Amino acid sequence: MIELPLKGYRVLDFCWLIAGPLTTRLLADLGAEVIKVESLARIDRIREAGVQPPDHLSPNTNGVFNDCNTNKKSITVNLGSSAGIAVITELVRCSDVVSANFTPDRMQQWGLGYGDLRTLRPDVIAIDMPVMGKDGPRKNWGAYGNGIVAMAGLGGLTGFPDRPPTGLGTLHSDFTTPYFGALQIMSALYQREQTGEGQYLELAQYEAAIHLLDTELVEYLANAATPLRRGNRATDYCPHGVFPCAGQDRWVTIAVRDAIEWRALCDVIGRLDLAARPDLEGLVGRQASEDEIEAAISRWTARLDRWQVAALLQARGVPAGAVEDVADLVEYDEGMRDHFVGFDHPEGANILVQNEPILWDGERLPLTRAPLMGEHNEQIFLDLLGWSSDELAEHVVRGVIS
């Protein structure tokens, strides 16, 4: 049985959508008790938008919500009422961490800003994850992942130089920001163990996305040069790209790092005449003839299966790999079998969620399914806060607990 490192810590979690909930999922998967604060008046949008299992349309069975909220508990509190805020203050007093990813002033409007939280629990750790941070002219901006990717400069660098930006195709910042957030929270918990002091943490999702840039930012800061979109090409390797293979929308990726790999590639594709050309011996010369080289490679790869191409080149030490789609990952990649966990959902669906990409002492972290909305109201209010059944019933009748 794994002894989880965050066991004994409690997180009062106001996060919604993806970036925030994935941050607190990491904490929950590592053993923290994460209590997700929800409301029927403002349902977490990710309960509603996204993939649903066949024949299901429920805020409890949404695939993305279930993947973002394993190992958590859910309570429903009406934060639009003073009685609801009073309930939250009771929970703050017995929580180690309070997390949110709203616009900067949302928690303050509820009387739950960091100053307010500290009066309830002096050593509390609070984290806010607004899109643009809490200060500056853009502080009130909100955005989803694609907007953040665009604002952070990633979209402008993605695509081919003679075409409009294509973006990344995924809400990349939503799935990378959480690692910054979880690291900050765990560091603050460690600091509190040493000093007894709480901490206020701010994580701007926009700044976290800027970290996804390669060397382009440094290039501009050093040389005032705006990098161009390169498509699949690279500054230090040639050839470097994806090439068509037999079948519909089937591709292989190939990268050549030096003269040895260049000669091996030419041998495999049957073009030793290219290897013999002095003008193609060095990187600069090959880059000057990149169109010609790519056309020669494409004529060879187009006749072959992508896996065959990758195997032939790998056997000669040339970096290459089949471009896999999601079906390949799930259906054919044996290494992915252990990446997913299935749960029989109370509403009759089978829910698949992803394991964390780590092993803890050689084992996967234990997972329980994401909570139904308000599933843990009785457990939290009766057992944790010590309410009577009559008190809970009164709060439900008054619409404070729903």
pLDDT in tens, 287-317: 999 999 999 999 999 999 999 999 999 999 9
Report the relative pairing of strands 320-322 and 251-255 from DSSP bridges. Answer: antiparallel
CATH code: domain of residue 271:
3.30.1540.10
**Residues 249, 197 share a domain:** no
Question: Quick one: 207 exposed, middle or buried, by C-beta within 10 A (0-12, 13-18, 19+)?
Answer: middle
pLDDT for res 114 = 97
pLDDT for res 196 = 98
**Distance between CA 125 and CA 193 in Å, rounded?**
12
247 falls within a domain? yes
Single out the residue in 329, 352, 381 at which a domain terminates: 329
**Residues 157, 40 share a domain:** yes
Which of 311, 310, 329 has its CA nearest to residue 254? Answer: 310
Structure tokens, 367: 């997972």
**Residues 203, 250 share a domain:** no
**Residues 293, 184 share a domain:** no
pLDDT for res 171 = 86
**Domain extent at residue 249:** 240-329
365 falls within a domain? no
**Distance between CA 172 and CA 54 in Å, rounded?**
26
Single out the residue in 329, 359, 380 at which a domain terminates: 329
Sign of CA dihedral 283, 289, 290, 294: negative
**Residues 304, 206 share a domain:** no
Helix ranges (DSSP H) in 143-252: 145-151, 172-195, 205-210, 216-223
Number of other CB atoms surrounding residue 323 within 10 Å: 15
pLDDT for res 96 = 98
pLDDT in tens, 229-271: 999 999 999 999 999 999 999 999 999 999 999 999 999 999 9
Question: Does residue 199 contact residue 125 with C-beta atoms inside 8 Å?
Answer: yes
231 falls within a domain? no
pLDDT at 335 > cutoff 80: no
pLDDT in tens, 44-69: 999 998 899 998 999 999 999 999 99
pLDDT in tens, 33-47: 999 999 998 999 999
pLDDT at 32 > cutoff 80: yes
pLDDT for res 332 = 80
pLDDT at 338 > cutoff 90: no
pLDDT for res 146 = 87
**Residues 289, 143 share a domain:** no
Question: Does residue 262 contact residue 280 with C-beta atoms inside 8 Å?
Answer: yes
**Residues 378, 268 share a domain:** no
**Distance between CA 247 and CA 323 in Å, rounded?**
13
pLDDT for res 50 = 84
**Residues 317, 272 share a domain:** yes
pLDDT for res 98 = 98
The C-alpha R_g of the chain, in whole angstroms, comes to: 26
pLDDT for res 172 = 84
Single out the residue in 278, 313, 329 at which a domain terminates: 329
**Residues 16, 73 share a domain:** yes
Total domains, the chain: 2
357 falls within a domain? no
In which band, very low, low, confident or very high, does the pLDDT at 204 lie, cut at 50, 70 and 90?
A: very high
**Residues 160, 50 share a domain:** yes
219 falls within a domain? no
**Distance between CA 70 and CA 354 in Å, rounded?**
9
pLDDT at 331 > cutoff 90: no
In which band, very low, low, confident or very high, does the pLDDT at 187 lie, cut at 50, 70 and 90?
A: very high
pLDDT > 90: what percent of the chain? 85
CATH code: domain of residue 384:
3.40.50.10540
363 falls within a domain? no
**Residues 265, 203 share a domain:** no
pLDDT for res 2 = 87
190 falls within a domain? yes
**Residues 94, 23 share a domain:** yes
343 falls within a domain? no
Sign of CA dihedral 332, 335, 337, 341: negative
pLDDT in tens, 72-117: 999 999 999 999 999 999 999 999 999 999 999 999 999 999 999 9
If phi over 0 gives left and psi between -120 and 50 gives alpha, with beta otherwise, what is residue 44?
beta
